[in-house]
Amino acid sequence: MNSGHFKGQNAASFMRRDNTFSARFWQNALAATLAGERDRWALWCPVFFGIGIAAYFSLPIEPPLLPLVFCGVLAGLITGVAHWMGAPRLSGILILLLFALFGLTYSVWKTHWVAAPVLERAQVYPGMSGRVAAVETFPDGARIRLKDLDFGWRGRGDPVPEVVRIKLRAGAYPGIGDRVRLMARLSPPPRPSYPGAYDFARVAWFDRLGAVGFSLSDWEKVPRLSEPDLWETAHIAIQQTRMDVSAALQAALPGIRGGVMAALLTGDRAAVPEPILEDLRQSGLAHLLAISGLHIGMIALIVFVTLRFLLALRESWARDRPIKKWAAFGALIASFGYLLLSGATVPTQRAFLMTGLVLVAVLTDRQAISMRLVAFAAMVVLLIAPEGLIGPSFQLSFAAVIALVAVYESYRFGGGKQDGARGWSRKAAFYMAAVCLTTVIAGAATAPFAIHHFGRIAHYSVLANLVAVPIVTFWVMPMGLLSLLVMPFGLEAWPLSAAGWGIDAVLTIAHWVATLPGATGHLPPMTGWGLICVTLGGLWAAIWRHRWRYLGAPFVIAGLASPLSQPTPLVLFHETSDQAAIIWQGKLWVQSTRRDKFTLSVWQEKTALPLGGDWQDLMALRETPLHCDPLGCSLNITLSDGRAGVFAFTQDPRAVAEDCLQADVTRLPIVPHPSLCRERTAITPADLYRDGVHVFYDSKPALGVETVEAARGHRPWTKSGLTSQRSVD
């Protein structure tokens, strides 16, 4: 077995030569190592395809499609010529570059293909109607998606979105497939609340969601415009079954336990209170409620083991029939049914794809767990939804899977074997050690991405998962699956009652771990180059098998240290002129804690700073830098180079002239006369509306500023991109 030496040549023979540090030596060493890794080259194809997708979303402007197609065809011809001329190394490099170009081109095409009208401005539609395509239930009211929209007289002459999402008032909600009429206030999908934060408008663009809003009246059912076709009928039946199952679970298991059971089996988390969700997040158990590979893997494992055990009861079948394949086929059918029951969201589709590939590998006598399987699954997922690459769901799930498979392959690669004769006590100890090791590996692999996207890390997640995962795997999920099987006969109460004991135990563990001192840590997100270093360095270490894989470790370490290079903001301006934040003494002080609490949570997440209070609390401090009067507020701070920095928050137009003369940066309530505020930075309501949230940093020689729209660029889903597109139309 090759353990890291150069294949075909002995490493010691290289070191005995006098030209050890010559270019020729390292060229031969690299060639020999690449030859030893020949079976791993293909694994880099989806990586470079993802690099092309990531390059597309990082561009500040939208690239043209036709020149990219032409470059792709030309690059394909050059690659073919290189292969025909017998240059395998050159053709291999060109193939990888071709995959990167294909990822870039495919992303551009997908963006144009999903293009749909987006609402231009926020307004009220008194008599709009639409067909209900989806329903999400919440304690304070349902949220519905409407298609086949009619905005009535208010929508004449304006582009009508294909899909809108509306939050209804508390009470009854319509059924899927019904056509309803109501009064609603709609607005374009919101942009990020911080530069580089989660961009819902981009997600809505690829979902063809053209507006979001809330109802101003009760809804009423109206006649449909046409009869549903076969596809819509099947969709309505599946969604209605999912809602009925969720209601039956909560009826048979009242309270929080029923809500958790519904979340585990159907993905409906509406009945799970926010304090419970927060305990799960702080303890590192939030993944238990997110329908993912863990859940579908549990269902497949339970069905596979059960079917194989039952089939093995007949001796002739166990001896002469492929009962393992029969069990795998049954598990595949059960996984598909669970996919439909859980709502078939994109993360669930990805989980089903990977689980299904494992089961197909069993059916075809292939190795069930391998990096090739993961690479194939990643390629398929990126072809289905390339925009998912930059989302936390894709990054977290594949980071965990790639790390686990890499360790698994290294274990087998090193010749590790399990003792099949160990007793029950040793098997139990081995299982607990495996759960612990799996949690550590998956937690370490996903931690950088969790910190980057969510700004937090659960310090005791290993402890919580070590106890909670076996309970969910061997008790809660089997009882839940049994309840689904007997639900048509009305017998779901007793297995759900048993499952409730396990749910109580898991929630108790989550609350206990979440209340431990230092349960969670908050860190600022990594920089763009830091995320690239962590990703590519981790992939380098996971894909290669020989010793040079450890060259990826320095890049991972550099990426993890990238938040240290992030400057701490001084002041944040909201996109409206009635909210702002000041960073002082390691805390976030906001103008008002009552306004836009979602933006406030994003600011805390991205700055990794706790909330100190509002400005009244800040002015109550003995050495406060903030001073306010009826005309506005003034912030006086000392910058890192000793300079004095002054920010003015003008509230009365009469103070505009004075504030512009004295302050380095002034937030104005109006657009001033051109003769005013010419020599200093002045942020007007028009600037905030156009560019979004402004973040000011301490930089030399002047204050630095970053805005949401500058970070987003000129893309189809941004405000500037939509405006230019409408002007062209």
**Which of the residue ranges 403-417, 572-586, 595-609 would you say has the lowest mean pLDDT?**
403-417
Give me the sign of the Cα torsion angle 542, 543, 549, 553: negative
- 7 found inside a domain: no
Residues in the chain: 729
Q: For 345-363, what is each residue's pLDDT tens digit?
A: 766 777 788 788 888 888 8
167 and 246 assigned to the same domain = no
545 and 592 assigned to the same domain = no
Q: For 502-529, what is each residue's pLDDT tens digit?
A: 999 999 999 999 999 888 888 888 888 9
- 636 found inside a domain: yes
Query: What pLDDT is attached to residue 9?
Result: 47
**Which of the residue ranges 466-470, 644-648, 714-718 would you say has the lowest mean pLDDT?**
466-470
Q: For 398-407, what is each residue's pLDDT tens digit?
A: 898 899 888 8
- 6 found inside a domain: no
Query: What pLDDT is attached to residue 15?
Result: 46
Q: What b/e string do you get for 114-149 counting C-beta neighbours within 10 Å, with b at 16 or more?
A: eebbbbeeebebeebbbbbbebbbeeebbbbbbbeb
296 and 206 assigned to the same domain = no
- Distance, CA of 182 to CA of 168 (rounded, Å): 10
- 608 found inside a domain: yes
589 and 442 assigned to the same domain = no
Confidence at 723, pLDDT banded by 50, 70, 90: low
- Distance, CA of 574 to CA of 587 (rounded, Å): 17
Question: Which domain covers residue 536, as residue numbers?
Answer: 528-564
Query: What pLDDT is attached to residue 414?
Result: 42
Query: What pLDDT is attached to residue 419?
Result: 47
Mean pLDDT value across the chain: 85
- Distance, CA of 662 to CA of 666 (rounded, Å): 9
Q: For 88-111, what is each residue's pLDDT tens digit?
A: 778 888 999 999 999 999 999 999
- Distance, CA of 9 to CA of 30 (rounded, Å): 12
* 338 has a pLDDT exceeding 70: yes
Please state the rounded mean pLDDT for residues 253-275.
87
Q: Is 243 helix (H, G, I), strand (E, B) or coil?
A: helix
The C-alpha angle 108, 114, 120, rounded to 5 degrees, equals 105
Q: For 195-212, what is each residue's pLDDT tens digit?
A: 989 999 999 999 999 999
- Distance, CA of 718 to CA of 727 (rounded, Å): 14
Confidence at 412, pLDDT banded by 50, 70, 90: low
User: 390 to each of 149, 290, 490, 728, how far by Cα in Å?
Assistant: 31, 18, 44, 29
366 and 407 assigned to the same domain = yes
- 47 found inside a domain: yes
220 and 270 assigned to the same domain = no
Tell which of 113, 136, 167 closes a domain: 113
450 and 391 assigned to the same domain = yes
Confidence at 183, pLDDT banded by 50, 70, 90: very high
* 343 has a pLDDT exceeding 70: yes
Q: Name the residue among 212, 204, 221, 222 with its Cα closest to residue 125.
A: 212
Q: For 208-255, what is each residue's pLDDT tens digit?
A: 999 999 999 999 999 988 888 888 888 888 888 888 898 899 899 988
Query: What pLDDT is attached to residue 267?
Result: 81
Pairing of strands 569-573, 694-697: antiparallel
Q: Which of 100-104, 240-244, 278-282, 632-636 has the highest mean pLDDT?
A: 100-104
Query: What pLDDT is attached to residue 346?
Result: 67
- 26 found inside a domain: no
CA atoms within 13 A on the CB side of 170: 3
675 and 602 assigned to the same domain = yes
**Which of the residue ranges 21-25, 254-258, 366-370, 587-591 would you say has the lowest mean pLDDT?**
21-25
Confidence at 534, pLDDT banded by 50, 70, 90: very high
The structure tokens 């003015």 sit at 648
Please state the rounded mean pLDDT for residues 147-165.
83
Give me the sign of the Cα torsion angle 697, 698, 701, 702: positive
Q: Name the residue among 312, 311, 358 with its Cα closest to residue 332.
A: 358
504 and 539 assigned to the same domain = no
Is residue 114 a contact partner of residue 145, using CB atoms and an 8 Å limit? no
More confident residue, 19 or 324: 324
Q: Name the residue among 662, 677, 682, 685 with its Cα closest to residue 579.
A: 685
249 and 165 assigned to the same domain = no
DSSP string, 277-292: HHHHHHHT-GGGTS-S
Query: What pLDDT is attached to residue 49?
Result: 97
143 and 250 assigned to the same domain = no
Tell which of 462, 495, 522 closes a domain: 522
Tell which of 203, 227, 251 closes a domain: 227
52 burial type by CB count under 10 A (0-12 exposed, 13-18 middle, 19+ buried)? buried
* 55 has a pLDDT exceeding 50: yes
97 and 189 assigned to the same domain = no
Q: Which of 33-37, 40-44, 138-142, 349-353 has the highest mean pLDDT?
A: 40-44
- 5 found inside a domain: no
* 63 has a pLDDT exceeding 70: yes
The structure tokens 């144009």 sit at 112
Q: Name the residue among 46, 127, 146, 80 with its Cα closest to residue 375.
A: 46
Query: What pLDDT is attached to residue 229?
Result: 81
Residue 192: give its domain's CATH number.
2.40.50.140
Confidence at 422, pLDDT banded by 50, 70, 90: low
Say which amino acid occupies 361: A
* 265 contacts: CB under 8 Å, gap ≥ 6: 245, 246, 249, 338, 341, 342, 480, 484
Is residue 174 a contact partner of residue 135, using CB atoms and an 8 Å limit? yes
Number of folded domains that form the chain: 5
Query: What pLDDT is attached to residue 12?
Result: 47
- 8 found inside a domain: no
* 423 has a pLDDT exceeding 90: no
Angle between helices 256-266 and 230-252 (to 10 degrees): 150
Query: What pLDDT is attached to residue 420?
Result: 47
Provide the edge-to-edge strand list for the sheet that holds 694-697: 611-614, 587-590, 580-584, 569-573, 694-697, 704-707
